[in-house]
Structure formats: C-alpha cells, structure tokens
Structure 1
Amino acid sequence: MTILTTSEIMALIPNRYPIIYIDRVEALEPDKKIVATKLLTINESFMRGYQPDQPQMPNTLIIEALAQTASILILKSPAYAGKTAYLGAAKQVDFGRKARPGDQLQLTVTLIKTKSNMGVVQTSATVDGENVCTAELTFVVGPRDSQLEKNRG
C-alpha cells in the first residue's frame, strides 16, 4: 500500500531528478518509523556510469537514499513541519549484497532520539530481505531555503 507517492515525496524534500532516490513510501509512523522503496532499473544514470560491466547502485547513493527516507520521517513530524533535514553524519555503516537493476530496494528508518534540531536514526536497506546496508545517521533540521521554494514553482 502506497502512503506517499513520488509527487508527495517531492513536496517534502528538495531532491529532484536525477538525485531523488525514493519512489514511494509504504509505511509511516510519524516520530517513529518509515518504510520506503526505490525501484532500480538499468536506465538509472548511475547504473551506466558506475562499474558498467557489473551495474549496481553505488554505496554512497544507498546512503543518500536512506538519508532521503530519514528526511521524510523527520519532516512528517509536527515539530519539524515546513523545515529541511540535512545529513550530519553516518556511523556504523555496513554494506552487504549489491543493489542491482531489477531490485526493489526497501529502505527502513527508525527514529532513535531527537534533541532540539538534531537527531539520530537507525537505517537499513534490503533487497528481498537480504542486507544491502545498515547505518546510523545523524541529522540536523534547519529552515527551508526560500530560493528552493521559488524553484519548485
């Protein structure tokens, strides 16, 4: 069941093609947990440019997809509505299997703690239940950029 579509996601976070890495949100408990999906295809620009003989999603972009998912969770909180979330740090990062064309990357983020405008989330990316990446991400919430709002038009 889709909770948020791509259009609704783009209303929350500033990312746009080619750097938006979430296709839908399937579950959302504000201030607790979110589950989102990225559908990987061979047509992704990074699939053609990163290890072209063995197409896969680069690890840095998997972290970015997890950070975007975390941003949605954070910005759906009444305390941070109308703001922007920024990735501050990635700790305890562990990569497993590769994310390849045809995979559905499931992104799960659980809020661990918040304090003022900062917080920590535990994240995981999986394909068919197999670990692709786990990481603890720290975020900072700040005001939404007014120039960004103008560009969204």
Structure 2
Amino acid sequence: MGGAAGDEKDLSQLDIVGIMELIPHRYPMILVDRVVDIIPGDSCTGIKNVTINEGFFQGHFPRRPVMPGVMIVESMAQTAAILVVKTLGEDAKGKLVYFMTVDNARFRRPVTPGDSMRVHVKRLQQRRNVWKFSGQVKVDDVLVAEAEFAAMIMDDL
C-alpha cells in the first residue's frame, strides 16, 4: 500500500490512491476502498466499507437503509476491472473495462451501513477483449451476494 519513498511495497494490496490510479471511477461511484489480495490473471479481493453517508441510502430505504443490489454487483465489476488492469499491465493504458452481462445474480442477505463487504472475483475465461468472471460478496464471512458477469476491454475514446 502507499508509503514513503524507499518503503517496500506489497504488490498484492492497493489503497484507495492506488485503486484510483487503475480505474476511472470517482465519488460517488467508486465502490472499492481497498484491495487486500490480487493474483494477476486469476483473482482479486477488494473491500468496500459501507457507511450511512452513501448517497443511495437517502432513498433506498430511508427507514431501513439497504444497499441496492446493483451497487453490490457494481462493486464486483470494479474489483474485476482492477484485476484486468493489473493483469494487462502496460497494455491497459488507454483502455476502459465496460460491463457487458450479469448472469445468475443472487442476493442472500441485505447489506446495511456498518457492514464491510469482502468482494472476491475470479477470472473464469478470457477470449480476446472479453473477460468472464465469477464474484462473491461476503460480510462477516457470510455470503450476501454472488453473480457471474462479463466485461469488454475497449479503447478509452
């Protein structure tokens, strides 16, 4: 993670500054706070700390705030984008990762303010510029959501 010049860097972890160097998402759409494990070409695990300050909680639902499922899936997609960029290295320059499909999405338990989501994605397949992934999100080691999804790597116009 970040540190003073000369500090040894753990390349399997990223703080928010390192994440923002890899993907274009910014507040309020950045949904990965930290990466705790990354194996280029294989898998990535990100952390999203959910707080009441998230804008969507104002309307979803004010009396019982629940993180929208699409935002949970987006956290999987962003974690996958980090994996793609770390895997491609220099070849990722000038490229964006675009979400294409979501299959078999399951939401097993609500995610609420105070939860810390552990977002794990695994590359299932890659054909040219299309990548397929499986994703799982856990809170306190309990599976709260899962999905399979695909993304296309394209030039940033």
State the TM-score, normalized to the length of structure 2: 0.88
Q: Which moved more, 1:43-52 or 1:71-80?
A: 71-80
Output the CA distance in 2 between the equivalents of 1:117 and 1:97: 33
Output the CA distance in 2 between the equivalents of 1:127 and 1:78: 30
Selected match of 2:44 from 31, 34, 59:
34
1:45 Cα shift?
Answer: 1.1
Output the CA distance in 2 between the equivalents of 1:88 and 1:33: 19
Selected match of 2:20 from 10, 21, 31:
10
Give 2:85's aligned residue.
75
Give 1:95's aligned residue.
107
Taking every aligned residue pair, what percent have the same amino acid on both sides?
34
Output the CA distance in 2 between the equivalents of 1:35 and 1:119: 17
Give 1:135's aligned residue.
147
Q: Could you tell me which runs of 5 or more consecutive residues in structure 2 were left unpaired when the two chains were aligned.
A: 2-11
Q: Deviation per CA, 1:9-49, whole angstroms, max 9, x where unpaired?
A: 11111110011001000000000010000001111111222
Q: Could you tell me which runs of 5 or more consecutive residues in structure 1 were left unpaired when the two chains were aligned.
A: 146-153
Structure 2 letter corresponding to 1:60? V
Give 1:150's aligned residue.
none
Output the CA distance in 1 between the equivalents of 2:19 and 2:59: 26
Between the two proteins, the alignment pairs up a number of residues equal to 145
Give 2:124's aligned residue.
112
Structure 1 letter corresponding to 2:134? Q
2:57 is equivalent to residue 47 of structure 1: yes
State the TM-score, normalized to the length of structure 1: 0.90
